Amino acid sequence: MTLLDTDYDKIRTGHKDRQEPAYFQVHAVEAYYGESYIVQGVSFNVHEGEILALLGRNGAGKTSTLRAIARVDNPALRHGEIWLDHQPLHKMKAHQASACGVALVPEDRRIIPGLTVEENLQLAQIAPPVGWSIQRIYELFPRLGERRKQEGVTLSGGEQQMLAIGRALARDVKLLLLDEPYEGLAPVIVQEIERTLKEIKSLGMTTVIVEQNAIAALKLADRAVILDMGQVVFDGAAQEVLDNTKLREEYLAI
């Protein structure tokens, strides 16, 4: 039997008559904070090496979705499946998901006080699986190399974001989850981080980026998922959102 291109597309996108699951699949995920039902049946797929922009208004459930994927305790995952490279994340605890290659870079960046830049990176490599060498991280972010002996929490906001991403890469990452990486940063620093994210993508990293700066995220991303009140209201090409004023006004207020 000869497969048509469209058949391959179905396989890659995890279409219901697929023969092989997509690299990263979120299927009918429901998550709760206590009794508050927040993530209300979210499903999407990400292909290997793709960047997905996960967008939506304040309170739409973006951070909660990332946290559910990374398997942190709150919100509690009560329903659904999450698969990364054939591994069932939904059956795991956070440390197991991390060992499987899930790296969540949270909004507050969580740089560890009292440690230098280099010590923050070394700490990430204390347990296997180790990813990039510290030297390679400095090549991607020369500013971090220049400030290797400086205490991490004294870095500028942009440099702290670089350190948070560098720390993720210091582990063997298969799925990079970025929560508002551009938040509070000057446009010139946003551009610098954008450039490094493109470089990381060119190496084949699969990434989900949550951003209030939707235009910047859409320009970087291949595909976009829009959440509204804990549900998916759009799933398609990033360019489609850039081109669709109505969709942007309705769900992104841009």
Interface residues with ligand ATP (CB under 6 A) are: 33, 36, 38, 56, 58-64, 74, 212
Q: Considering beta carbons, is residue 2 or 58 the nearer one to ligand ATP?
A: 58
Which of ligand ATP, Mg ion, none does residue 245 bind to, with CB < 5 to 8 Å depending on kind?
A: none
User: Would you say 104 or 163 has its CB closer to Mg ion?
Assistant: 104
Told to check if 63 binds Mg ion by CB under 5 A, we report yes
Determine, following the binding rule CB under 5 A, whether residue 64 of this chain makes contact with Mg ion.
Answer: no
**Residue nearest Mg ion, CB atom distance:** 63
Distance CA 21, CA 134 (A): 34
CB of 181 to ligand ATP, least distance (A): 13
| Structure-token pair, residue 182 | 């551009």
CA atoms within 13 A on the CB side of 181: 31
- What's the closest the beta carbon of residue 62 comes to Mg ion, in angstroms? 5
Residues 6+ positions from 129 with CB-CB distance below 8 Å: 99, 101, 171, 172
The tally of CA atoms less than 13 A away on the side-chain side of residue 174 is 20
Using the minimum distance from each CB to ligand ATP, give the nearer residue, 6 or 58. Answer: 58
Stretch that binds Mg ion, among 60-68, 108-116, 137-145, 196-204 (CB under 5 A): 60-68
What Å distances lie between residue 79 and 41, 68, 82, 85, CA to CA?
A: 8, 11, 10, 20
Count, in order, helices (H) and strands (E) of the chain: 11, 10
Q: Which residues contact 24 (CB under 8 A, 6 or more apart)?
A: 45, 46, 47, 48, 83, 84, 85, 175, 206
CB of 63 to Mg ion, least distance (A): 3
Q: Return the number of the residue (45 or 64) whose C-beta is nearest ligand ATP.
A: 64
Q: Which is nearer to Mg ion, 65 or 120 (CB)?
A: 65
Least Å from the CB of residue 34 to ligand ATP: 7
**Minimum CB distance to ligand ATP smaller for 72 or for 242:** 72
In the numeric block, which tokens belong to residue 217?
């995220």
How many residues touch Mg ion (CB under 5 A)? 1
**Which x/- pattern over 5-44 shows residues binding Mg ion (rule: CB under 5 A)?**
----------------------------------------
Partner touching 58 among ligand ATP, Mg ion, none, CB below 5 to 8 Å by kind? ligand ATP
Rounded-to-integer distance, Cα 139 and Cα 145, Å? 8
Task: Return the ∠ at Cα 150 (arms to 117 and 70), rounded to 5°.
Answer: 25
CA–CA gap between residue 20 and residue 124 (Å, rounded): 33
Binding site for Mg ion (CB under 5 A): 63
